[in-house]
C-alpha cells in the first residue's frame, strides 16, 4: 500500500464466516481409510501376493517414499510448469493415498461454506432431470468425489430421489481418470441413494480443449489446480473460457488453486478478464465467493494476494500416517478460489457495507489492523483491542474516517 492519505472504514463487526474445524461426511473414513488404500494396494503393489490382503502399516511404509517424493515435487519451484507426474505409477498411487484427501478437503470446506451454490446445482439437476457436472483437469475426479461424499450426507430433497448424475471428466492422463472412475463406481454401488444413478464420460484432452465435449448446460463446473499446473495458448484459453462460461448453469463454476501468490494472482486476473469481456455480469451477484464486489481485484498484482486458511482436522488413519511421515501434520487447508454464479441462479447481492478481510491481523506498535477487500486497492481496517478477525471473515462497515 502507498503512503498517501485515503479514507479507511471504521467497522461494526456483525459476523464471521470462517468456519470451525470442518465436520467431514460419515462416509469419509470408509472411503479414504478403506476403499482408496485397498484400491491402491490391489493395483499398485509390486507383488501379487500382497494384493488381496488388507492395507496395512507395512504397505503404508512401502508407499510413503512415493508420497515424500511427490510432496517435494509439488513444493519445488516450477518455472517451466508441472511435469506429467500422473504418468508414473508411483506418483499416481501417492496422489491417491495422500493428496487426494488433502485436495478433497479443500473442496469440501468450500461446499460447506457455500451450500446455497450447491442447492442451485441440485435444483437445476432436479428441473432438467440430469445433474451434469464437468470436472476439468480432473485427475482422479478429486472435486467430483468430494461432491459425492457431501451429497451422501446432505439433506437436500430428503423426500425425493436424486436425478441422474452425469460426470464429464477431462485430463491428459487416462490411467488416473480410470482410477477415479473405479472409485466413483465403488461409491455408487455402495449406497442406495446413488446406486444406478452415476455415469462418467472421460476425455483424454487438456482442460482447455474440453468445452467442445461438454453438454450445452451444466449444473456445476469444477476446475482444480489447472492454472497452477498447465501452460496453454492465450488465444485458445480465451476461446475456451468464453465457451465454458456459456455452459455454466445451476451452481456455476468453482475454481480452486493453491494459496501461492502466482496462482492466486492468475485467478484474480482471470476474474477481472471475465468482467471486462462481459462474460459474466458486472455485479456482486456474479460471485458465490470470495468476492463481495465486481470492481477490479485489489490483489491481482503486488506483494499481497487473495488466499485463505481454514481450520480442518482432516480425518483418516492413513492420512495422519503420511502427514506425520512428511513432518507436517495438517490442521488447516490453504487455498485460493473463485466461485462464479450462473445467470439463472445468481448469488445474493452483497450488502454495500459488507467487506471481506484479506489479511491476518497486522500490528504496528499498539495498533492492530487488517486489510479488507475494496475495488482497485486494499483498504485498511483498524481493530478494537478485543476484536478477533481472521483472513476470510466478513465485517459490516458503517462509516469512514480519514487518516
Lowest mean pLDDT among 8-12, 21-25, 208-212: 8-12
Mean pLDDT of the chain: 86
What band does 157 get if pLDDT is binned at 50, 70 and 90? low
Q: In the prediction, which pLDDT does 348 show?
A: 94
Read off the pLDDT band of 279 (50, 70, 90).
very high
Among positive and negative, which fits the CA dihedral 189, 117, 205, 216?
Answer: positive
| pLDDT tens digits for range 303-316 | 889 999 988 889 99
pLDDT at 15: 35
pLDDT, residue 20, reads 45
The b/e string for 13-43 (b: 16+ C-beta within 10 A; e otherwise) is beeeebeeebebbebbeebbbebbbbbbbeb
The predicted-structure confidence for 205-231, as pLDDT tens digits, reads as follows: 988 888 888 999 999 999 999 886 655
- Read off the C-alpha cell for 207: 482442460
- Quote the percentage of the chain above a pLDDT of 70: 87
Please check the confidence at residue 106 and state whether its pLDDT lies above 50.
Answer: yes
Is 92's pLDDT higher than 70?
yes
More confident residue, 9 or 88: 88
pLDDT tens per residue, range 30-60: 999 999 999 999 999 988 878 889 999 999 9
In the block, which residue shows the cell 480443449?
Answer: 209
The dihedrals phi and psi of 88, each to the nearest 5 degrees, come to -100, 120
pLDDT in the model for residue 81: 57
Q: Count other Cβ atoms within 10 Å, centred on residue 82.
A: 14
| Separation of alpha carbons 80 and 231, rounded Å | 9
Give pLDDT, residue 16: 40
**Better-predicted residue by pLDDT, 11 or 384:** 384
Q: 222 has which bridge partners? A: 135, 254
What is the model's pLDDT at position 325? 92
Amino acid at each position: 500500500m502507498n503512503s498517501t492519505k485515503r479514507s479507511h472504514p471504521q467497522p461494526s463487526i456483525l459476523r464471521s464466516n470462517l468456519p470451525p474445524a470442518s465436520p467431514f461426511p460419515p462416509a469419509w473414513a470408509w472411503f479414504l481409510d478403506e476403499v482408496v488404500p485397498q484400491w491402491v494396494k490391489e493395483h499398485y503393489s509390486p507383488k501379487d501376493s500382497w494384493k488381496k490382503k488388507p492395507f496395512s502399516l507395512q504397505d503404508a511404509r512401502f508407499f510413503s517414499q512415493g508420497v515424500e517424493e511427490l510432496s517435494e515435487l509439488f513444493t519445488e519451484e516450477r518455472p517451466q510448469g508441472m511435469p506429467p507426474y500422473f504418468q508414473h505409477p508411483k506418483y499416481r498411487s501417492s496422489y491417491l493415498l495422500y493428496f487426494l484427501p488433502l485436495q478433497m478437503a479443500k473442496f469440501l470446506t468450500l461446499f460447506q461454506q457455500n451450500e446455497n451454490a450447491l442447492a442451485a446445482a441440485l435444483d437445476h439437476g432436479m428441473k432438467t432431470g440430469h445433474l451434469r457436472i464437468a470436472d476439468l483437469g480432473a485427475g482422479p475426479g478429486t472435486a467430483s468425489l468430494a461432491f459425492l461424499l457431501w451429497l451422501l450426507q446432505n439433506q437436500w430433497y430428503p423426500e425425493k430421489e436424486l436425478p441422474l448424475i452425469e460426470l464429464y471428466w477431462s485430463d491428459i492422463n487416462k490411467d488416473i481418470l480410470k482410477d477415479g472412475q473405479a472409485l466413483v463406481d465403488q461409491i455408487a454401488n455402495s449406497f442406495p441413494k446413488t446406486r444406478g444413478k452415476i455415469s462418467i464420460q472421460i476425455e483424454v484432452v487438456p482442460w482447455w480443449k474440453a468445452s467442445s465435449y461438454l453438454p450445452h448446460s451444466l449444473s456445476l463446473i469444477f476446475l482444480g489446480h489447472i492454472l497452477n499446473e498447465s501452460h496453454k495458448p492465450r488465444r485458445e484459453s480465451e476461446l475456451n473460457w468464453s465457451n465454458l462460461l456459456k455452459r455454466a448453469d445451476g451452481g456455476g463454476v468453482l475454481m480452486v488453486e493453491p494459496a501461492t501468490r502466482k496462482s492466486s494472482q492468475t485467478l484474480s486476473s482471470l476474474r477481472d478478464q471475465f468482467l471486462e469481456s462481459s462474460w459474466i455480469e458486472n455485479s456482486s451477484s456474479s460471485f458465490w465467493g470470495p468476492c463481495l464486489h465486481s470492481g477490479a481485484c485489489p490483489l491481482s498484482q503486488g506483494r499481497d494476494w487473495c488466499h485463505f486458511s481454514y481450520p480442518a482436522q482432516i480425518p483418516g488413519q492413513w492420512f495422519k500416517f503420511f502427514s506425520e511421515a512428511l513432518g507436517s501434520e495438517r490442521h488447516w487447508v490453504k487455498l485460493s478460489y473463485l466461485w462464479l454464479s450462473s445467470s439463472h441462479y445468481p448469488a445474493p447481492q452483497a450488502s454495500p457495507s459488507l467487506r471481506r478481510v484479506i489479511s491476518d491481523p497486522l500490528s504496528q506498535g499498539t495498533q492492530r489492523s487488517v486489510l479488507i477487500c475494496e475495488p482497485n486497492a486494499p483498504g485498511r481496517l483498524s481493530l478494537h483491542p478485543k476484536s478477533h478477525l481472521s483472513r476470510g471473515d466478513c465485517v459490516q462497515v458503517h462509516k469512514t474516517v480519514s487518516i
